Amino acid sequence: MKRVGRLAATSSPISVEAVDRDDALAEAADRLDRTDRTDPDRTDRGHFLRRVGGASVLLGGLALPGAARAASRSQDSEILNYALSLEYLQAAFYTEAERLNSLQGRFKDQARVVGSHERAHVEALRALLGGAAMKRPRFDFHGVTEDQAQFRRTAVAFEDLAVAAYKEEAPRIQNPENLAAAIRVHSVEARHAAWIRHLAGALPAPDAFDEPKPRDQVERLVASTGFVVGRPKTQSSDKPRYTG
């Protein structure tokens, strides 16, 4: 998949100003900055969102001509693999934080619960795609899973980005069964975003309406983090299994 393949490591930083044309991420960063100024423990969350962007899709056989059915399956497969790439990223992030036992209190509970959800999303998408499922990428989170403050900032960005990505792609899904499954996952991702925002001291739902995020913007933002790599930083057989 050409688009999925672009979720690769890069050394070129991407600014939010270059891709956040509707200013949604910049506004979120500003809100977090205002909170940070009154709480030293939350320093630099707004800066992090500006830097990385904020961060499934699961239609049965319709009575379509053969060529149309093939095109529909191909488009759905592309979308599902894109969603799978994001679920791989989130599952690895939460799993590594839990495995390292680096979090405390409510953040530890959040990572445990959300990690189990993201791993379930990965398995569901892989089962749905079958042999068309993309291989699991490898990750290096550069220490953000080892520090609670950095984990918090990254989790807010990841969850906001995932919700916006699902919102953009879901209307393009052709098969009704795939669409139904995607919506089930999207609503859970939105709950994740609200939960981590609450823990981070930001409004869980600051606006009456959310905007989608185009795929090319999501891919560039993910690539700019440098989290997707050719070789993982660590390997472990500990449980929960590290999905990177």
Identify residue 17 by its one-letter amino acid code: E
Cβ–Cβ under 8 Å, residues 164 and 218: yes
Q: Which tens digits make up the pLDDT trace of 191-212?
A: 999 999 999 999 999 999 999 9
Q: Which tens digits make up the pLDDT trace of 22-67?
A: 454 444 445 444 444 444 444 443 443 333 333 333 323 334 456 6
| DSSP H helical ranges for 37-175 | 45-52, 66-100, 105-129, 148-169
- What pLDDT was estimated at residue 24? 43
- What pLDDT was estimated at residue 67? 62
Mean pLDDT of 208-227: 94
- What pLDDT was estimated at residue 33? 46
Identify residue 130 by its one-letter amino acid code: G
Closest CA to 205 of 240, 244, 159, 237: 159
Report residue 161 as tokens.
């980005």
Q: Which of 15-29, 48-62, 64-78, 162-176 has the highest mean pLDDT?
A: 162-176
- What pLDDT was estimated at residue 240? 57
**DSSP category for residue 139:** E
Residue 157: band (very low, low, confident or very high) from pLDDT cuts 50, 70, 90: very high
| Lowest mean pLDDT, pick from 143-147, 179-183, 236-240 | 236-240
- What pLDDT was estimated at residue 230? 79
Residues in CB range of 231: below 8 A, 6 or more apart: 138
Closest CA to 146 of 101, 88, 196: 101
Q: Which tens digits make up the pLDDT trace of 89-134?
A: 999 999 999 999 999 999 999 999 999 999 999 999 999 999 999 9
| pTM, to two decimals | 0.68
- What pLDDT was estimated at residue 92? 96
